[in-house]
Amino acid sequence: MTIRVTQSMMNSQMIRNITTNMTRMNKLQEQNSTGMKINRPSDDPVGITFALRYRSEIDANEQYKKNVNATLSVLEYSDTTLGQAGDILQRVRELIIKGGNGALEQTSLDAIKVEIQQNYNQMIDIANTQFNGKYLFNGELTETRPYAKTELTDAIDLGASPPVLKAYHNKTDSGKINYELSAGLTLDLGVSGNDVFGAPLDPAATPEEMAGSDNIFALLQRAYDMLDSGDSEGVADLLDQFDTRMNTILTKRAEVGARVNRVEIIADRLLDIEGNLQVSQANVEDADIAEVLMKLKMEENIYQASLSVGARIIQPSLVDFLR
Amino acid sequence: MASTFHGIETARRSLFAAQSSLNTTGHNIANTNTAGYSRQVVNLVATNPITAPGFSRHHTAGQLGTGVEAVSITRVRESFLDSQYRNENKALGQFQVRQDTLSKLEGVVNEPSQTGLRSVIAKFWNSWSDLSKDTENIDGRKVVLEQTLAMVDALNYSARQLNDLKDDLSESIEIRLKSAQSLMGTIAQLNGEIRRIEGLGDHANDLRDQRDLVTDQLSQLINVRVEEQAGGYTIFMGTRQLVAGEVATPPADVASLMEAYDAGDLNSGQLHGTIYSRDQYVESYLGELNNIATTMAFGEFEITLPKGTVLPEGTELDGVVYTGSNRILDQETVVTVKGLNGLHQLGYSLGDPSDGLPFFVFQKENGDLVTDDSAGLQGLGALNFRLNPAIAENANLIATSMRVSGAGTTGEEVINGNNSLAVLFSQMRDTRFDFDSGPDQNRNTVDAYFRSIVGQLGVQSAEATRLLNNQVIITNQVEARRQSVSGVSLDEEMANLIKFQHAYNAAARNMTVMDDTIDRIINRMGRVGL
């Protein structure tokens, strides 16, 4: 402790102390106005590394949520489309049962034939479905139409350029488009057309090979041809192959449904993670406003007290008391 | 035998002494708030008494006092406290500059925020993830393009700010050196003046105060050691003599100052702090930013290429050259790729089967674009980091696909629906890059690396602030002790004023008494009966 105290010592000490008080108040004021207890790295060097990590993870999570939504819409659209294909098959099945009856006259068979033809065209439209301008059933060749829009009555012409082919000759792409759904996790969305509608036939396939195929377009072609020639027995025999194809399409649809479930689970998990991250981030970064206000009030009191005491101490000197 | 007028002489001396004391008190009061002023006192000494040695010693008492004399006026000061103060003051100067620089660096880093580097890098990865969902179209590419430009701009801007900070610090070194030079000149000049005045036997109190004040100021700029010698203050910085007598030999320019810095002679004070801040702190953060830029472009990392990938003809990965039919990967393959540049060149841009361009380039001062690290990383950094201008002009050149149809034939066509490369790019956010090509491999995600930089800055800045606060307290304590010794206390001066006034009044009364006694002798004696 110094023994001899001068006016200037008291003065500078008071200024110093008031400045210190002000600095503390300023800090609290900053926390109060930004609502954050970390406003620069030096406020909490360890805390800020956590804060930055949480921020980055929240950013990434936000992106994964967007990706999950996009995945869900593609999958749901695929599901709807496969549903429509199922509906058409159901109708075709009825027609085939009707046509295989054997008791119908050719005019009736012709009527069925026409309807088969319409369903064939409709099925091609479904196989060529686009989502956001991209073909759904052609793997990664999203810009190429997978199935030829030729009529059942059109003849195959391999010599033409480009060759005229039927839908059952078309080979779809097996590439798989992956979406990134969370760190290190990608999920493929694609449903290959050949898996759904049946394996393609070689353009030079023999009638036997054609008869062995359960490609839906080939089946429709054969049904059409048989109805055209009045072969209702042959039509009835197609029923088994139709049923296998229908089952396959149902299985594919179930697979898509399962994938939707999986994505929904991922979505739930992303939401959970988001909640956890936000809580963690708030714990590290956010100021406890009530506490800050309390402290601010205390600092205010200290500040005012130091001002009033200072005012009393630095004012008088012996000068005031000498006559 | 004392003279008749002895008493008058004694009273005169008393009056003069009291007057000097009063005047000095007045000087003290006048300089209450003068920086560097130390209070002065008049040293009073009783004058030699009259003695009458000898055999015929008179019958009066010897050793008759002859009054008072003001022998000297000196300042009250402890030189030990001065050297202590200068020691603390140099450290204070050093920490002030360091703390100031680090807090400016915190401003450049600008975290936590929604606009800092971390945020633009996160947006960059996100834009690739968005693009991976729609690789056939231009819109996603435009977003990647814009986010890349934003990220590159942020790195450029931060690097520019750091370079500006470096320039500012260099300039401030020059300014501070000039001011140190002029302070040393002043000290040398004061040395001369003080020597001349004190040669006449006086104390050059006010000039000494001035010299101490200037030395204090110098001690904030550099580390000084002061020795008081016959010629005045001799000042050393480390082993270098800066002032001796009337000759000042300050470092002539920044180059010779840097020599002293390198040799360890300059080891504290604001100048040391400024050089240290520039060459250690700013330089190291600039290095870290450069490392982020070069590592994103060229840093090695491992990735798994998906099955079905068709690599561009002639691609070389891990020493394997992919050509002809082995370009098509029939299984997932783990390879080491050199940076995002290397990765981008594994893919194909929209509709163009020639392989992808280098994604980033570094623009040399002469305008040359560097696209690989074959010539080393010298001169490549955050400042000249750019998105490849060809890509910046045409977003379709952003590669997303890793598959072509008809591989090996002349009519190769890119399968635009393949999004493998875009997904890989997006997954780079979690990929550990090799941030240090040395043998001690330091693999980290870009985000984690940036976090560690911010954390390190936080620690350094918090530490510097703590040291500065401590140093302020210590320096203030020493200064308070110095003030306690040398400072002017108005109460004390007022009390002294009264004391000396009384002494003066009493001396005057004494004079009157003497006057009366002599009056009695001269005018009244020998007039018996009159």
- How far is B281 from chain A, CA to nearest CA, in Å? 15
Give chain A positions within 8 Å (CB) of B134.
132
pLDDT value for B59: 63
Share of chain B above pLDDT 90, in %: 73
Q: Taking chain B, what is the end-to-end CA distance rounded to the nearest angstrom?
A: 31
Is residue B350 within 8 Å of residue B400, measured between CB atoms? yes
Q: How much of chain A is in helix, strand and coil states, percent to nearest 5? A: 70, 5, 25
As for the ipTM of the complex, it is 0.88
Whether residue B306 and residue A177 make contact (CB cut-off 8 A), yes or no, is no
Give the separation between CA B107 and CA B19, rounded to whole angstroms: 61
Give the separation between CA B503 and CA B439, rounded to whole angstroms: 86
Closest residue of chain A to B455, computed from CA coordinates: A45
Whether residue A59 and residue B109 make contact (CB cut-off 8 A), yes or no, is no
pLDDT value for B55: 62
Higher-pLDDT residue of B51, A78: A78
B246 inside 8 A of chain A by CB = no
Mean pLDDT over the full length of chain A: 90
pLDDT band of B233, cuts 50, 70, 90: very high
pLDDT band of B417, cuts 50, 70, 90: confident
Q: Which whole number is the average pLDDT over B52-57?
A: 62
pLDDT band of A292, cuts 50, 70, 90: very high
B487 inside 8 A of chain A by CB = yes
Q: What 8-state DSSP symbol labels residue A277?
A: H
Is residue B83 within 8 Å of residue B482, measured between CB atoms? no
pLDDT band of B214, cuts 50, 70, 90: very high
Sequence-distant (6+) residues with CB within 8 A of B147 are: B120, B123, B124, B126, B127
How large is the angle between the packed helices B446-486 and B283-298, nearest 10 degrees?
Answer: 180
**Residue B330 φ then ψ, to 5°:** -95, 5
Higher-pLDDT residue of A281, A321: A281
Question: How do residues A46-88 score in pLDDT, each as one tens digit?
Answer: 999 999 999 999 999 999 999 999 999 999 999 999 999 999 9
Give the separation between CA B486 and CA B493, rounded to whole angstroms: 13
Mean pLDDT over the full length of chain B: 91
Higher-pLDDT residue of B526, A71: A71
What is the DSSP track for B191-253?
HHHHHHHHHTT---HHHHHHHHHHHHHHHHHS--EEEEETTEEEEEETTEEEEETTEE----S
Task: Give me B307's structure tokens.
Answer: 């099955």
Whether residue B415 and residue A173 make contact (CB cut-off 8 A), yes or no, is yes
Pick the range with the lowest mean pLDDT from A52-66, A249-263, B436-450. Answer: B436-450
pLDDT band of A45, cuts 50, 70, 90: very high
Give the residue among A16, A262, A178 at the shortest CA–CA distance from B129: A178
Q: Which whole number is the average pLDDT over B437-456?
A: 82
Give the residue among B68, B64, B86, B158 at the shortest CA–CA distance from B120: B158
Higher-pLDDT residue of A159, A42: A42
Q: What 8-state DSSP symbol labels residue B372?
A: S
Is residue B501 within 8 Å of residue B22, measured between CB atoms? yes
Give the separation between CA B403 and CA B294, rounded to whole angstroms: 28
Say whether A6 sits in a helix, a strand or coil. coil
Is residue B221 within 8 Å of residue B180, measured between CB atoms? yes
Share of chain B above pLDDT 70, in %: 96
Q: Which whole number is the average pLDDT over B230-241?
A: 93
pLDDT value for A284: 92
In the predicted structure, residue A278 carries a pLDDT above the cut 80: yes
pLDDT value for B529: 67
Question: How do residues B285-324 score in pLDDT, each as one tens digit?
Answer: 999 999 999 999 999 899 999 988 888 888 888 888 988 8
Q: Which whole number is the average pLDDT over B32-57?
A: 85
Q: What 8-state DSSP symbol labels residue B326?
A: G
Q: Which whole number is the average pLDDT over B343-354?
A: 86
Q: Which whole number is the average pLDDT over B34-63?
A: 81
pLDDT band of B61, cuts 50, 70, 90: low
pLDDT band of B147, cuts 50, 70, 90: very high
Whether residue B452 and residue A179 make contact (CB cut-off 8 A), yes or no, is no
In the predicted structure, residue B100 carries a pLDDT above the cut 90: yes
Pick the range with the lowest mean pLDDT from B150-159, B274-283, B320-329, B407-416. Answer: B407-416
pLDDT value for B56: 64
- How far is B329 from chain A, CA to nearest CA, in Å? 13
In the predicted structure, residue A254 carries a pLDDT above the cut 70: yes
Give the residue among A66, A264, A190, A178 at the shortest CA–CA distance from B130: A66
Give chain B positions within 8 Å (CB) of A184.
427, 430
- How far is A314 from chain B, CA to nearest CA, in Å? 12
Question: How do residues A143-180 score in pLDDT, each as one tens digit?
Answer: 889 998 888 888 888 888 778 888 888 999 888 889 99
Does the pTM of the predicted model rise above 0.95? no
- How far is B123 from chain A, CA to nearest CA, in Å? 8
Give the separation between CA B435 and CA A261, rounded to whole angstroms: 40
pLDDT value for B435: 86
Determine the length of chain B: 530
Higher-pLDDT residue of B349, A3: B349
Element (H, E) at B44: strand B40-46
pLDDT value for B68: 95
For B307-462, strand residue ranges (E) read 315-317, 320-322, 333-338, 348-349, 352-355, 360-363, 369-370, 385-387, 399-401, 404-405, 413-414, 433-434, 443-444
Burial of B277 per CB tally in 10 Å (0-12, 13-18, 19+): buried
